[in-house]
Amino acid sequence: MTPHTADHTDVRATNLAAVLGHLRADAPCSRAAIATGTGLNKATVTSIVADLITRRLARETEQTQNHVGRPATLLVLDGSAYAAIGMEVGLRGLTAIAYDSAGGQLLRWHRSGPGVGATPAKTIAALAALARRAISAVHASGRDVLGLTVGVPALVDRDGTVVLAAGLGWRDVPLRQDLVTALGRPAFPVMVDNDANLGALAEHRYGAFAGTADLIQLSGDTGVGAGVISDGRPLRGGHGYAGEIGHLRIQPDGPLCGCGRRGCLEAMASLPAILARLDQADGPETDPQLRTDQLVRRAEDGDTATLKTLTEVGGLLGQGISVLVDLLDPELVVLGGSYAALGRWLAPAIEQELTDGALVAVNGRCQVVVSAFGHDAPSIGAVARSLDRLDSGHLPAPPVHPQP
């Protein structure tokens, strides 16, 4: 264990992160307001803001604020110089999303395929092609790309190797390394992370309750997985595998699960399990987004079987969420992926189960909400992950691309 030590570069980075965080939460704001909000002295704020303006990470607006004395110029984040890319390898295809450093969306692409049966090599080639196009598009907008992160429905180790992705049929695929090789740019920052972890990060960073220190994002398009933010940081566990809730046994004599046991949460409350309950598991459509849309339409039309099933599944999910709440004591549980669209019908039974079942929920008042990001959450979280270094106050090299 190497002890963590600090030097004066760390101090600058910590303070820079605080100023960026204040701007993200409260801009437009004055230098004086930043000093008050962060506890830094005005000279430090002035110097850091000057740095941020030089890098085009912040800019002065035309607006001023009149208190007593001379008017203060207001500052906002500037997204004109840098951006980051988030991607997802999902069962429904590949997604690429880019945000500029001020949180503005630059592009959002989805392509179906290569499909579950494809070899990792084929999928990685398609991923690299999409990544190159996204990088080019960001460059064409006059911005440098600070990094690229890929979310996968998988156990991912700290080196970015996919240890096991049951849904994709992958095992021991060195995704990060292969993607770096395919991109042909060894120095370009590429990361790989679990899709549920990234979904939680998306909520923590850009969601309706951004900044909530303890939250869980739950999704269930294939397996059921939880991403956890604990005390403001992603909960990863000793090997990077935390958040596996899918094989929680809800009903010992329940339906057979892919893991060989019976009655796992995944076998009872994932999207495929919901469809199986409604005898719709074998339909021609495999894209979870489109299948969810079909369910939503049936529920909106008042279809009795659909409504009954969603209430039952809400109860089962509620049992799983009760366990999460008792163990992790979050302030917020966000229903993501397909659960987001189905949330209106799932939530009442979930909340009932939480009231009846979870010890902590009763005392701790945990709120259950629906994600606004739907199936984009992992890619949006991947963008946030690519911005980690900047957000922790490590400035990038000055922008290469001239001001447009």
Q: Which is nearer to a second copy, 214 or 376 (CB)?
A: 214
Torsion from C-alpha of 303, 308, 309, 314, nearest 10 degrees: 130
Q: Which of 80, 45, 75 lies closest to 63, judged by CA?
A: 75
Q: Mark 48-87 with x for binding to a second copy (rule: CB under 8 A) and - for no binding.
A: ----------------------------------------
Give the whole-angstrom CA distance, residue 110 versus residue 121.
19
Residue ranges in 136-155 that form contacts with a second copy under rule CB under 8 A: 155
349 contacts 315 by C-beta, under 8 angstroms: yes
278 contacts 344 by C-beta, under 8 angstroms: no
Choose, by CB under 8 A, the member of 47, 73, 105, 251 that binds a second copy. Answer: 251
Give the whole-angstrom CA distance, residue 229 versus residue 334.
11
243 binds a second copy (CB under 8 A): yes
Number of Cβ atoms within 10 Å of the Cβ of 38:
17
Query: Cα dist. 181→71, 108, 129, 176, 277 in Å?
Result: 53, 24, 12, 9, 44
Q: Which is nearer to a second copy, 37 or 374 (CB)?
A: 37
- Helix, strand or coil for residue 354? helix
Choose, by CB under 8 A, the member of 29, 40, 192, 349 that binds a second copy. Answer: 40
247 binds a second copy (CB under 8 A): yes
330 binds a second copy (CB under 8 A): yes
Q: Which is nearer to a second copy, 109 or 241 (CB)?
A: 241
Size, binding site for a second copy by CB under 8 A: 69
Q: How far is the CB of 20 from a second copy (least distance, A)?
A: 9
What is the 8-class DSSP label of residue 114?
Answer: S
Choose, by CB under 8 A, the member of 5, 66, 304, 403 that binds a second copy. Answer: 5
Q: Which of 340, 312, 177 lies closest to 251, judged by CA?
A: 312
Residue ranges in 349-368 that form contacts with a second copy under rule CB under 8 A: 357-360, 363-366
All residues at 6 or more sequence positions from 320 whose CB lies less than 8 Å from its CB, including other chains? 218, 224, 245, 248, 250, 265, 269
Torsion from C-alpha of 281, 285, 286, 288, nearest 10 degrees: -90
261 binds a second copy (CB under 8 A): yes
Q: Which is nearer to a second copy, 144 or 195 (CB)?
A: 195
Which among 49-57, 81-89, 212-220, 343-351 is the span making contact with a second copy, rule CB under 8 A? 212-220
Which helix (H) or strand (E) segment is 52 a member of? Answer: helix 42-54
245 binds a second copy (CB under 8 A): yes
403 binds a second copy (CB under 8 A): no
Phi first, then psi: what are they for 52, rounded to 5°?
-65, -40
30 binds a second copy (CB under 8 A): no
Q: Which is nearer to a second copy, 69 or 238 (CB)?
A: 238
Q: How far is the CB of 285 from a second copy (least distance, A)?
A: 28
Q: Which is nearer to a second copy, 363 or 403 (CB)?
A: 363
Choose, by CB under 8 A, the member of 67, 122, 185, 239 that binds a second copy. Answer: 239
Give the whole-angstrom CA distance, residue 283 versus residue 95.
24
32 binds a second copy (CB under 8 A): no
Q: How far apart are the first and last CA of the chain?
A: 47
220 binds a second copy (CB under 8 A): no
296 contacts 333 by C-beta, under 8 angstroms: no
Q: Which is nearer to a second copy, 86 or 240 (CB)?
A: 240
- Which residues are at the interface with a second copy (CB under 8 A)? 1-8, 10-11, 14-15, 17-18, 21-22, 25, 37-40, 155, 163-164, 211-214, 226, 230-231, 233, 235-249, 251-252, 259, 261, 319, 323-324, 326-332, 357-360, 363-366
